[in-house]
C-alpha cells in the first residue's frame, strides 16, 4: 500500500498503479460475481466489472419488472447471465448484496442458505452487518464478509468509470474465513473502477456515511439553504435574488473552486469583503452546529437512526409518504424559483 499524508496523518491507500485491473483479473479469474439487486449501485458496479472483463451475473427478482428489464437492456441475458435472486446467489462465489438496506433485512432468510463455504459476501454499506441485532443479517462463519463502498451514487460510479477517472472507495474486512478476504476486496474495488481505495471498518463506514448524508452532504445542506432563503425573503428580497445568493452561486461557482484547490483557494479568489465576512462567520456557524452534529453522531452510533430507517421504509405506505415529502420540497417557492433559474442558464 502507498502511504499518503492526509493533513499531517499518514494513512495507507491502495492505488490503481500498484494494483492494476490486470492483477484484479488474476485474483478473481476463477470467481463468479453475482450482483444481487439491479437498482442503484447494482447496475454501475455490474457494468463496470463487465466492461473490465470480469465474470458477472445478475440476481434480480423478475416481479420487479422495471429493474429486470433494465438488466436486459444493459445486455444481461435471462437464463445465461440474469437469474432470479436465489439462483444467482447459488451460482456465485462472490455475492454482492446490493439491494437496499431495508430489502437486505427482508431478503436475508432466502439468501443465507444460498451461500456456500468459502464464498465471499460483499456489501457496499456497513449498515446491515453493523446493526445486525436490528436487521437480522448475521453472516455464516464459513464465508468471507467484505465491503467496498464507493464514495458516490451508482450514477457517479458509472459516469466516472466511463470518463476514465474512477471514484474513490473505502474497503473493509468483517470476516476472513479463506485467508484471502482482503485480496478479494481490493480486487473487487479495482474491478468496479475505484480511483483509489482506503481501509476502514464496517462500523466506521456506516457511522461516517449516515452522519454525512444526514449532515453536510444532504440534510444540513438542505436545512441551511432553506433557512437562508427564508431570511432573505422575509426581508424583502425577491425569489430569484434569494435563490441566486443561496444556491446558484454555490453550485455554479463557489463549490467548483473548492473542488479544484480547496476552501482557502476559493476564499482567495473571492472579493475582500466576502473573504472577511466568511472567515469571521464560519466560527459562529461551526459553534452553532457542533451540538447538532454531536447529537446526530450519537443517534447513528446508538442505532436510533437505524430503527428510524427500518421502521419508516418497511411501512406499507412509505412510498406514498416519501413522494409527498419530495413533492412538498419540489413545489416549495425555493425550488420552484430554482427551476426557473436553471432554465435561464446560458445554453439551457
Residues classed as catalytic? 125
**Could you tell me which residues come within 8 angstroms of residue 190 by beta carbon, excluding any fewer than 6 positions away?**
14, 16, 19, 20, 21, 23, 24, 197
Q: Which residue in this structure is represented by grid cell 446558484?
A: 248
Distance, in Å, from the CA atom of 160 to the CA atom of 153, rounded to the nearest integer, reads 11
Known binder of ligand: residue 271?
yes
60 with 37: CB under 8 angstroms?
yes
**Run of H or E residues at 50:** helix 41-51
**Run of H or E residues at 89:** helix 85-91
The string of DSSP codes covering 235-249 is TT--HHHHHIIIIIH
Known binder of ligand: residue 209?
yes
C-alpha cell at 81: 447471465
Known binder of ligand: residue 305?
no
109 with 140: CB under 8 angstroms?
no
Beta-carbon count within 10 A of 295 CB: 10
C-alpha cell at 227: 433557512
Compute the radius of gyration of the chain from its Cα atoms.
22
* DSSP secondary structure letter of residue 114: G
Known binder of ligand: residue 119?
no
Known binder of ligand: residue 240?
no
Q: What angle do CA 7, 9, 12 make, to 5 degrees?
A: 115
- Residue 151 sits at φ, ψ, to 5 deg, of -90, 60
172 with 199: CB under 8 angstroms?
yes
User: Parallel, antiparallel, or unpaired: how do β-strands 94-97 and 33-36 relate?
Assistant: parallel
Binding residues for Mg(2+): 209, 213, 245, 249
Binding residues: 209, 213, 245, 249, 271
Binding residues for substrate: 271
Amino acid at each position: 500500500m502507498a502511504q499518503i499524508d492526509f493533513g499531517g496523518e499518514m494513512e495507507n491507500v491502495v492505488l490503481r498503479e500498484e494494483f492494476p485491473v490486470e492483477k484484479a483479473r488474476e485474483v478473481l479469474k476463477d470467481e463468479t460475481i453475482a450482483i444481487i439487486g439491479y437498482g442503484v449501485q447494482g447496475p454501475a458496479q455490474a457494468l463496470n466489472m463487465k466492461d473490465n472483463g470480469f465474470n458477472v451475473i445478475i440476481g434480480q427478482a423478475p416481479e420487479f419488472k422495471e429493474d429486470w428489464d433494465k438488466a436486459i437492456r444493459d445486455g444481461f441475458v435471462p437464463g445465461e447471465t440474469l437469474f432470479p435472486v436465489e439462483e444467482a446467489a447459488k451460482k456465485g462465489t462472490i455475492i454482492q448484496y446490493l439491494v437496499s438496506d431495508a430489502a437486505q433485512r427482508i431478503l436475508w432468510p432466502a439468501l443465507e442458505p444460498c451461500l456456500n463455504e468459502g464464498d465471499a459476501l460483499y456489501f457496499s454499506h456497513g449498515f446491515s452487518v453493523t446493526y445486525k441485532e436490528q436487521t437480522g443479517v448475521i453472516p455464516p462463519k464459513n464465508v468471507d464478509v467484505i465491503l467496498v463502498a464507493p464514495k458516490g451514487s451508482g450514477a457517479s460510479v458509472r459516469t466516472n468509470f466511463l470518463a476514465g477517472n474512477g471514484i474513490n472507495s473505502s474497503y473493509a474486512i468483517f470476516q476472513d474465513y479463506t485467508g484471502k478476504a482482503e485480496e478479494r476486496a481490493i480486487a473487487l474495488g479495482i474491478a468496479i473502477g475505484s480511483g483509489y481505495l482506503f481501509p476502514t471498518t464496517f462500523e466506521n463506514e456506516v457511522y461516517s456515511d449516515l452522519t454525512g448524508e444526514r449532515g453536510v452532504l444532504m440534510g444540513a445542506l438542505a436545512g441551511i439553504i432553506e433557512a437562508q432563503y427564508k431570511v432573505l425573503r422575509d426581508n424583502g428580497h425577491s425569489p430569484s435574488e434569494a435563490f441566486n445568493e443561496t444556491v446558484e452561486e454555490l453550485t455554479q461557482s463557489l463549490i467548483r473552486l473548492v473542488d479544484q484547490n480547496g476552501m482557502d483557494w476559493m476564499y482567495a479568489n473571492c472579493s475582500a469583503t466576502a473573504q472577511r465576512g466568511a472567515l469571521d462567520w464560519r466560527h459562529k456557524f461551526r459553534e452553532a452546529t457542533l451540538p447538532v452534529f454531536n447529537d446526530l453522531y450519537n443517534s447513528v452510533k446508538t442505532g436510533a437512526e437505524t430503527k428510524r430507517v427500518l421502521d419508516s421504509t418497511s411501512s406499507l405506505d412509505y412510498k406514498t409518504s416519501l413522494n409527498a415529502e419530495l413533492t412538498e420540497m419540489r413545489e416549495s417557492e425555493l425550488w420552484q424559483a430554482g427551476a426557473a433559474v436553471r432554465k435561464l442558464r446560458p445554453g439551457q
